[in-house]
């Protein structure tokens, strides 16, 4: 049975499942949330556990969930710590099997994107941490995103994408707290430019969509090469407390364009371009 058939079969018995896992998107960016969501939904699908989704990052104007049954409409949520919900249960790996602590017993439990991150930090790229579906089988982009992307690029044409996550330190026009000012994914901006330049020269015969979280850096790269296309609106990290509607929209436009690329090259550690490959 293909994955769409599995999902339909899973939903046909949805109300018969004794346990419920609510995934709450209160922490992490788009990549972290979708990656964790894929993992947890896959686990629920295989183990006949009801999976529900609660968006509190306000991306629901730009991502649409395909199945109303998967929406969590309840008011009950766990307490928050530093803006994120405190998960009620933990996922771990024991003897190569996924374990939930405490054990489920007709429970309603809440988790967030730290669930899979904690597993990966302890076990690395373990074969247990896998996904059985593409996230586009659960979510789709809204017409707002599709229409706005047409102003930047024709996604039906052949193009490839390059993405580099510079780090929170390089976010523009956002008030950052101290630890965010030190957050970087690259050695320095000069090294980042060298890395991007080398990849562009390697792919010089292609139309390239280039994205990162620093508009000045994007414009500098575009100015140097004729085959580079960028979104000239500011993007941001969707998890930051003062990210606004326009920042979020522009970020998801870039993500949509990445998702529709012929190929994606991620040049630093990030879930943004990694998860775009699972579209």
Read off the pLDDT band of 140 (50, 70, 90).
Answer: very high
User: For residue 1, is pLDDT > 80?
Assistant: no
Q: Domain 143-276, what fold?
A: Rossmann fold (3.40.50)
Written in H, E and C, the secondary structure of 146-168 is: HHHHCCCCCCCCCCEEEECCCCH
pLDDT tens digits, one per residue of 58-92 = 677 888 888 999 999 888 887 776 666 778 888 87
Element (H, E) at 7: helix 3-12
Question: What is the pLDDT, as a whole number, of residue 75?
Answer: 80
In this predicted structure, the answer to whether residue 179 has a pLDDT above a threshold of 60 is no
Question: Greater confidence, 265 or 185?
Answer: 265
Evaluate if residue 52 carries a pLDDT over 90. yes
Domain boundaries, given as residue ranges, for the chain: 3-141, 143-276
Helix, coil or strand: residue 15 = helix
**What pLDDT was estimated at residue 269?**
80
Tell me whether strands 50-55 and 20-25 are parallel, antiparallel or unpaired: parallel
Task: Give the predicted TM-score (pTM) of the model.
Answer: 0.86
- 221-274 pLDDT tens trace: 999 999 999 999 887 666 555 667 888 889 899 999 999 999 999 998 888 888
> Would you state the structure tokens that stand for residue 207, as one six-digit string?
């139309």
Q: Give 127 or 120, the one with higher predicted confidence.
A: 120
């Amino acid at each position: 049975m293909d994955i769409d058939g599995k999902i339909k079969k899973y939903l046909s018995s949805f109300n018969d499942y004794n346990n419920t896992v609510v995934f709450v998107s209160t922490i992490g960016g788009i990549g972290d949330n979708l990656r964790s969501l894929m993992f947890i939904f896959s686990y629920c699908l295989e183990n006949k556990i009801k999976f529900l989704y609660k968006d509190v990052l306000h991306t629901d104007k730009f991502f649409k969930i395909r199945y109303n049954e998967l929406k969590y409409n309840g008011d009950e949520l766990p307490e928050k710590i530093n803006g994120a919900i405190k998960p009620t249960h933990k996922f771990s790996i024991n003897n190569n099997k996924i374990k939930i602590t405490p054990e489920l017993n007709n429970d309603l439990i809440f988790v967030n994107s730290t669930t899979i991150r904690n597993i990966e930090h302890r076990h690395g790229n373990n074969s247990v941490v896998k996904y059985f579906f593409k996230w586009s089988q659960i979510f789709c982009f809204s017409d707002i995103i599709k229409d706005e992307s047409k102003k930047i690029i024709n996604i039906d044409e052949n193009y490839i994408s390059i993405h580099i996550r510079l780090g929170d330190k390089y976010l523009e026009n956002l008030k950052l707290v101290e630890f965010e000012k030190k957050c970087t994914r690259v050695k320095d901006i000069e090294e980042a430019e060298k890395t991007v330049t080398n990849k562009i020269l390697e792919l010089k015969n292609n139309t390239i969509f280039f994205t990162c979280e620093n508009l000045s850096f994007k414009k500098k790269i575009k100015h140097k090469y004729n085959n580079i296309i960028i979104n000239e609106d500011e993007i941001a990290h969707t998890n930051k407390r003062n990210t606004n509607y326009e920042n979020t929209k522009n970020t998801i436009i870039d993500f949509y364009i990445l998702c529709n690329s012929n190929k994606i090259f991620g040049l630093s550690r990030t879930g943004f371009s990694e998860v775009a490959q699972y579209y």
